[in-house]
Amino acid sequence: MSTLKNKTIKAFSWDILGRIFIQGNSFIVSIFLARLLGPEQFGLIATAMAFISISSVFIDIGFSAALIQSQKNTQTTYSSIFFFNIFAGAVLTLLTYLIAPLIGKFYDNSLVTDLVRWLSLVFVFNSFNRIQNTILNKELNFKALTLRTFIASIVSGTLGVVCAYQGWGVYSLVVQTLSFGLFSTILLWSTSTWKPSFHFSMAEVKRLMGFSVYAFLERILNNIFIRLDVLLLAKIFSPITVGFYSRSSTLVDQVTKYTSTSIIRVLFPVLSKVQDNQKEYEKIYFRMFSIISFLSYALSGLLYFIGCDIILLLFGNKWHASVPIFQILIIASCNIPLNSLMWNALMSKGKAKENFYYGILRKSVGLIPFIFAFYFDIWWFTVTWVVSKFIISFLNIIVLKKHSNLSISKHLYYLLNGFIILIPGFLIFEYLELNLFATRVIFAISYLLVYLFANWVIKNEGLIYIISTISTIKGALKKRLVSKS
C-alpha cells in the first residue's frame, strides 16, 4: 500500500504541476483572445463546441472508464477498443458534418454550421489517443500526460492568438481547438510505449460493455447537462449574452481545474485498485474530499471578492456585463468539484448502472434553472443554477451512503468547515460596498488569512495533508539535489 501511496503522490504532483502551467498558459491565451475578439464571437464558438463536447462521448462509449476500472485487460483488449474508437471517430465526424446545417438552422445562424463542421475533425484526432491516454491514467503515469498536454497547449494557444491578430475572427478559436487535438495526439504517440496490434475481439468488447454502457449513458447525460446551459441559452438569448455567460462560466471552471481536476484524475484509478478494501477506500476518499473542499472554498471566496477586477483588468471594459454573472456562479464553484469527486467514487466501486439511474434524478433537478431562463432573464437562471448544484450535492451524499457506506455526517462536517468562513465573508463584503481596488484586495487577503487560521485551529485534514505532502516533496527534492552534488 505504501507503493500505491508513493505512486499516488507522484502522480498528483506531476498532474497538479502540469495543470498550473497548462491552465496558466490557457489563461494568458484567453486574455489575448478576449481582447482581440468580442463577446459575440465567444458566444458562437461556445454554441458550436457544446455540440462537439456532447458528441465526443460517442467515440469510446464509456470504454475508457471501463478499462481503468477493470483489472483484467490484455493487449487484445486494448487493441480491440482502439480500433473501435477510430471507427467511431470517423463516423462521428461524417454524421456531424451532415447534420451541421440543421444545427445552424436551429439557431438561425449559418456561421454555426461552418463552425460545427470544422470542429468535427477533432473526433478523428481524439480517437487515436484514447487508449494511450487511458493506459497512462491507469498506470498513474501523469508525467507523460502532463508534458504532452502542456506542449500542445502552448503550440495551439500561440496559433490561436496569431490567427486572431491576423483577423481570422472566430475561426482563430477553431484553429486553437483543432491544433490542440492534433498536436496532443502526435505527442502522446511519441511518448507512449503502448502500440496497437492488429487484433480485434468482440468478446473483449462485450466483456467491458456491461460497465461501459452505463458509464457511457451517464457521460452522455452529464455532457449534455454540462453544455445544456449554452445550448438552450443560445436559443433564448443573443450570442452576445451567451458570450458574457460563457466567459464567466470559463473563469468559474478555473476553480474546479485548479482545486480538484488533478486529484480526481488520480483518485479514480486509485480507488478502483482498493475498491474491495472498505477501510482503505474510505480513508482515501475522505482525505481527498477534505482537500478539495478546503481548496475550493478558499479559492471561491478570493475570486468572489476580486472577480470584478480580474475581468475588467484582464479582458477590458467590454466584458463588464460578465461581472454579476460571474459573482453568482462562483458561489456554486466550491460544490461542483465535490460533485465530480462523489461521482467518481461511486464509479470506482463498479456502480455504473446505479450511478446512471441516480444521474437521471440529478439531471432532473438541473433542469429547473432553464424554466427561469425561459420566463425571466439570465440573472434568475444563474441564481437557480447555483441552488441546483447544492441540492445535487446532498443527493450525492445520500447515494454514497447507500452504495459505498460513506458517512453522511462526515460529508457535512467538511462542508460546514468551508461554509463557516465563506458565508460570513460574502455577507460582510456586500455590506461594506468596497469601491476601491486596494480595499478589495486587502479584504481578500484578510479572508484568506482568517480561513487558513480557522482551518489550522480545527486541524482540517485537507490542510494538514497538503502541508505534509509539500514537506514530503521538498524532502525528496532536497535528497535528490544532495545525491547529485
Rounded to whole angstroms, the Cα distance separating 402 from 411 reads: 14
**Distances 179 to 33, 100, 115, 252, 400 between C-alpha atoms, Å:** 16, 21, 15, 25, 40
Q: What is the rounded (10 degree) CA torsion for 257, 61, 345, 225? A: 60
Highest mean pLDDT of the ranges 36-50, 211-225, 340-354, 429-443: 429-443
Please tell me the number of Cα atoms within 13 Å of 315 on its side-chain side: 26
pLDDT digits (tens, 9 = 90+) for 371-428: 887 777 777 888 888 888 888 888 888 888 888 788 888 888 888 888 888 888 888 9
Residue with cell 514530503: 472
pLDDT digits (tens, 9 = 90+) for 196-243: 888 777 777 777 665 555 566 666 666 666 666 666 677 777 777 777
Tell me the pLDDT of the chain averaged across its residues. Answer: 77
Every domain of the chain and the residues it spans: 42-236, 238-485
pLDDT digits (tens, 9 = 90+) for 283-307: 878 888 888 888 888 888 888 888 7
pLDDT digits (tens, 9 = 90+) for 49-98: 666 766 666 665 656 666 766 667 778 888 888 888 888 888 888 988 89
pTM of the full predicted structure? 0.60
State the sign of the Cα–Cα–Cα–Cα dihedral 325, 329, 331, 334: negative
Closest residue by Cα to residue 156 from 127, 185, 133 = 185
- The answer to whether residues 305 and 444 touch, using CB atoms and an 8 Å cutoff, is yes
Grid coordinates representing 64 are 475508457
Grid coordinates representing 74 are 490484455
